[in-house]
A and B are shown apart, each in its own frame.
Chain A
């Protein structure tokens, strides 16, 4: 941070945000181009923006009906998970906080298992609704159990862990009783984007957009939640109200992401730390950049999931952990070197 004319330099540089946007665009076009049928970059670009010289026929269908919805869903889920992760880490003063922490994941897992193990096959199609309902219900229960509405973020964290364990226990019980459903439940838990159609994109983008707009709006104030409540209050925010808004919006984003694509681990922890580590800025003004980096990360991971063992597919959760974990460790190590 150099100084100019007796002023400290800007805390957040918008060029970082622009850079993340460029990366996301490049990754998205690449992901639409690659696959069992490879399509020329420029043709993809022209098809996407409806310019003359785009693909026609089968290629056009592959681009617009198969790959594009999948890439957009991947981007939405990645943005939702990374942003919620960053927000949870700020609200709970805990760098290891994860969007699944308050029971959203286990609740959604239980909901999905109920749908998959049910004898009524009609219910299988309603899996996203069950998962969404389960996730929201679990987080709501955590809120209620934590008692004194949000006086202390730690008690919410603990009740979230308890509710999560309880939901996981019921889920395991159901799984054991219906061993036929073991495989679909397991593959759902590892997460996948194969279900992506325009209708899935449509409903999930609505909820995720609402949640992200709320979070981006309060992003700057969220920095105040890194302080004690008295300090935050003296800086002009109502810490209790802001915490509820932030956690509710982050939970909406997480539950939507989980019900659209299953449990994709690691994004919510790795991406915020990557962006904060590489920019050396912990401020939540980076939230938009974190969202775009999360989107790019998941689109890239999904590209790996469907091309590495082509024509077979790897679960995307395997890729995010396999690639994310070592990369994360490298960044963490470098960050420590810089700050020591």
Chain B
């Protein structure tokens, strides 16, 4: 099963943000979009969600996404609107709306929220206000809400930006939790090392076009990736075989 994208173009006014993209994304895998800022990664996610008007076609399991409001797709934004005065429990409970109807405090839903709060190590904080969570806790609350949604597909925009290393790993592990439940994961990520470590497929986007896509290891070691970043990155391989990507500094070899 795939999400088949053919000749996708998205414009904001005169500006072409995504330019004639064609790609197949496999269900059940973690696909990561990488590329410099302004490449069109977030717009790509919005189009996959069905929110950005596009020309061309995005078919998820055979149905055009822009017309299909029945899909259960979770979205984790880079900078969420933080609702003032809302508790963590209320926030995560919102994720149940598509499964269980809006504002339906069914026992099933309340048990499910209890479960995901425990999984994301937020249990005990359910009466805290989301506005008072730390960056890492907020990101976990967003993932908890996505888990509560029991989605078929989750879109994450820079889930690790603004987090320290420890929390980056903990959030990424939480995302893997989703994948274990059979959820398709599509994320954008700036950290190429982490992208190679967690995602199975990597898509490199620049100026609204796909430069390259494929299995993580192949993409990370390719010369096209270095070109996408204007040769300002170096890729090393650790003894364990894990690739590590670092930025070049002028004057250093």
Contacts and interface: CB of A to CB of B under 8 A. Distances in A.
Please say whether chains A and B are actual partners in one complex: yes
Interface stretch (A34-42, A192-200, A276-284): A276-284
Interface in A181-236: 219-221, 223-224, 226-231, 233-236
A234 B49 contact: yes
Instruction: Name the prevailing secondary structure of the B interface residues.
Output: mixed
Contact of B114 (A6, A229, A282): A6
B81 interface: yes
Contacts of B173: none
Nearest to B85: A282
Given A10-B110, A220-B103, A235 B98 contact: yes
Interface string B74-116: 1101001101111101100111011000110101001101110
Given A1-B127, A10-B105, A223-B94, A230 B75 contact: yes
Given A230-B75, A234-B49, A223 B103 contact: yes
A280 B115 CA distance: 23
Contacts, number: 108
Interface residues of A, number: 34
A230 B98 contact: no
Contacts of B114: 3, 6-8
Interface of B: 46, 49-51, 69, 73-75, 77, 80-81, 83-87, 89-90, 93-95, 97-98, 102-103, 105, 107, 110-111, 113-115, 117, 126-127, 129, 132, 149, 155
Closest 4 CB pairs of A and B: A220-B103, A226-B83, A282-B85, A220-B102
27 contacts: A3-B114, A8-B110, A8-B113, A8-B114, A10-B105, A11-B93, A12-B105, A93-B84, A219-B103, A223-B90, A224-B94, A224-B97, A226-B81, A226-B83, A227-B80, A227-B94, A230-B49, A230-B51, A231-B80, A233-B50, A234-B155, A235-B97, A236-B69, A282-B85, A282-B90, A283-B103, A285-B103
